[in-house]
């Protein structure tokens, strides 16, 4: 195993050369400025509930936690373990809703059936409505937009959501717009799952500046190169759309 041992020593030397750290590109890195009185961090609160689609919130989290001065709070009704929509990933909130009385940015991810259980829970719905009164941005990712619509926050507002359920926005009084993300005042909504990453980079630019957003983008090396052009209902082959059950019919004629 001597060959492997040499390789290992070289490898460790390289790690030392990298500053002893494998920290993946953070905008916190290499702070050369002298210490100054800390401003209050920008609080980003992500609402977690059982049955979320994990990428809906991990995409935004991964970009946002790299931004200097951002504090990401994972909020939940309790801090017990919860299961994702697939049942495979387990996660937990760090702070119970009852301990959070303001946020700068509120992010509500989407989820499967259980999302409606959360949206119909008065404790969660009341918390969202109260915290929304303190926010600079209230964001729905994927079917999280339907969550916001359901609690009455998108009444009369332009919004988008996961391609399969866009007509359902009308049920919450919102006006569907076909876009990767939509902003109407402080209410920002995104298309499905992975679209939260795009929305989040735009939001960081709005909250800070383009440079800060680009640092987060390079931090997660977000230079997408999908091997197929099937990521939207308008570009995917019809057979692929049909295999996923197509978009829901719109029983009330709105779109």
Site for its own copies in 141-180 (CB under 8 A): 142-143, 146, 149-150, 152, 155, 162-165, 167-168, 170-173, 180
Measured from the CB atom, is 34 or 87 closer to its own copies?
87
Among 78, 80, 94, 121, binds its own copies (CB under 8 A): 94
Select which of 106, 107, 142, 146 is catalytic: 142
Measured from the CB atom, is 114 or 184 closer to its own copies?
114
Our finding on whether 130 is near its own copies (CB under 8 A) is no
Residue 84 falls in the annotated catalytic set: no
Our finding on whether 226 is near its own copies (CB under 8 A) is yes
Phi, psi of 247 (to 5 degrees): -80, 155
Strand partners, 190: 181
Query: H helices of the chain, where?
Result: 2-17, 54-64, 114-119, 122-132, 144-150, 195-207, 210-219, 238-243
Our finding on whether 214 is near its own copies (CB under 8 A) is yes
The encoded tokens of residue 64 equal: 């946002």
Our finding on whether 113 is near its own copies (CB under 8 A) is yes
Our finding on whether 90 is near its own copies (CB under 8 A) is yes
Our finding on whether 132 is near its own copies (CB under 8 A) is no
Among 78, 80, 81, 126, binds its own copies (CB under 8 A): 81
Residue 31 burial (C-beta neighbours within 10 Å; 0-12, 13-18, 19+)? exposed
Residue 216 burial (C-beta neighbours within 10 Å; 0-12, 13-18, 19+)? buried
Among 41, 99, 123, 191, binds its own copies (CB under 8 A): 191
DSSP code at position 38: P
Largest CA distance in the chain: 72
Catalogue the active-site residues.
Answer: 142
């Amino acid at each position: 195993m001597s060959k492997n041992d040499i390789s290992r020593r070289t490898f460790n030397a390289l790690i030392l050369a990298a500053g002893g750290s494998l920290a993946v590109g953070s905008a916190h890195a290499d702070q050369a400025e002298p210490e100054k009185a800390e401003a209050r961090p920008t609080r980003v609160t992500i609402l977690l509930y059982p049955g979320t689609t994990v990428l809906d919130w991990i995409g935004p989290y991964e970009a946002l936690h790299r931004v200097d001065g951002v504090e990401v709070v994972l909020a939940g009704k309790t801090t017990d373990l919860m299961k994702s929509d697939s049942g495979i990933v387990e996660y937990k909130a760090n702070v119970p809703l009852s301990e959070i009385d303001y946020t700068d940015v509120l992010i509500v991810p989407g989820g499967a059936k259980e999302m409606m259980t959360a949206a119909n829970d008065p404790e969660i719905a009341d918390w969202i409505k109260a915290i929304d009164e303190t926010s600079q941005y209230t964001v729905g990712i994927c079917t999280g937009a339907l969550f916001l619509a359901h609690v009455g926050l998108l009444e009369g507002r332009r919004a988008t959501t996961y391609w399969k359920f866009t007509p359902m926005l009308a049920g919450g009084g919102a006006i569907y717009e076909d876009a990767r993300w939509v902003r109407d005042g402080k209410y920002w909504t995104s298309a499905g799952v992975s679209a939260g990453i795009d929305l989040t980079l735009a939001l960081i630019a709005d909250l800070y500046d383009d440079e800060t957003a680009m640092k987060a983008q390079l931090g997660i090396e977000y230079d997408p190169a999908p091997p197929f052009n099937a990521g939207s209902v308008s570009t995917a082959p019809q057979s692929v759309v049909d295999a996923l059950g197509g978009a829901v019919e719109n029983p009330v004629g709105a779109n």
